[in-house]
Amino acid sequence: MKHFLIGYAGNAGIRMMTAQDARSLSHINLAFGVIRDGLLDTSRLTIWDSLHQLRGWNPDIRIVLSVGGWTAGGFSEMAATPRGISAFADSCGKAMDLYGLDGIDIDWEYPCSSAAGIASNPADKVNFTALMRALRGVAGDRIVSIAAGAGPYFTRNTEMDKVAAACDYVQLMTYDMRGGFDRQAGHHTGLDASRGDEDGMTVRRAVELFHKAGVPRDKIVIGAAFYSRKWDGVPDVNHGLLQPAESVGNYGPGYDKLLAEYIDKNGWGSYWDEDAKAPFLFNGRSFISYDDPRSVTLKCRYLKQEGLRGIMYWEHASDNTHTLLGAMAAELGRG
């Protein structure tokens, strides 16, 4: 099986892509379309004239439009009626035709939840299934996928066996697994758990969770992070790992900035957690969790061993050194 290597990219990420990047990737997820008045709105994306160049560099690349993202609403309202679902699905079909896209990716964060400040309803659980089935019908042989939150809150509030049947693959957002709601410093995108972390979510635990919920292993795509999470006010114990923090894990620097200013620089020490298969940084008071070439390589080896479909990452513009993509491409034999 040829494994997928999928990159999420917004306007800036698309513009910084190189020919080598395009040859390394199997798919690009354009981030993001949104829902406006119940229909797909693509006005935030300004890179349509760049797509022909990407296809020139890699004729086999699949370019998919992702719809949604954190704080992007309109899903619950749109999916509340069959008529709303049908109109939205038709607008997605028109966009695929207009821009020559290879598919639609739904990033609803999250069904049955208003955590991101959007509307929700208990009926989202069944309506999500209906939405994905409608998109399957409109897409035909083009791609239908989702990005799923990596935790029981997502499997509990969806019918993942039915959703997976409508999808070509399911992308697990195995990042932010500890972060903006957590005051314990730790790994936000670890393959495995740190010693003493019995309940924290990890890539491996998320995969098993979704597989038990009905997603076939060969439809599971795991996630890697090109950005970091940072906790402040962390005690200087165990280099800050699993220590209580004064802040939650806020969105931190991208990997390129970590390389330039943080990793073994400016008082930051770099550490490797062998149990979690993940790196972290600590300066005596602040803790940073991130992915590096070693950790993304191990994630790729894991997915191959487990028969998973591939790996994706958020987000391309966070590494202008192209280091992390290069590491994954090398392990998966791409590019």
The distance of Cα 202 from the centroid of its chain, to the nearest Å, equals 14
Per DSSP, 244 falls in state: B
Residue from 109, 159, 315, 331 carrying the catalytic annotation:
109
Yes or no: say if 211 and 251 are a contact pair by the CB < 8 Å rule.
no
Largest CA distance in the chain: 58
208 is catalytic: no
Q: With the CA atoms of 302, 306, 308 and 311 taken in that order, what torsion angle do they form, in degrees rounded to the nearest 10? A: 0
Spell 204-218 as b/e; 16+ CB within 10 A means b: bbbbebbbebebbee
Structure tokens at 31: 């981030």
Starting at the edge strand found earlier in the chain, the sheet holding 278-282 runs: 250-254, 227-231, 287-289, 278-282, 269-273
Q: Which of 158, 88, 160 is nearest to 124 (CA)?
A: 158
User: Which string of DSSP letters, residue by residue, matches 171-226?
Assistant: EEE-S-SSSTT--B---SS-SSPPTT-SS---HHHHHHHHHHTT--GGGEEEEEES
- Number of residues that make up the chain: 335
Per DSSP, 285 falls in state: S
User: For residue 23, with 0-12 CB atoms within 10 Å meaning exposed, 13-18 middle and 19 or more buried, which class applies?
Assistant: middle
Structure tokens at 79: 């999916």
Task: Report CA-CA distances (Å) from 214 to 35, 66, 130, 323.
Answer: 28, 23, 17, 34
Helix (H, G, I), strand (E, B) or coil at 91: helix
Query: 41 pairs with which residues across the strands?
Result: 34
Per DSSP, 268 falls in state: P
Annotated catalytic residues are 109
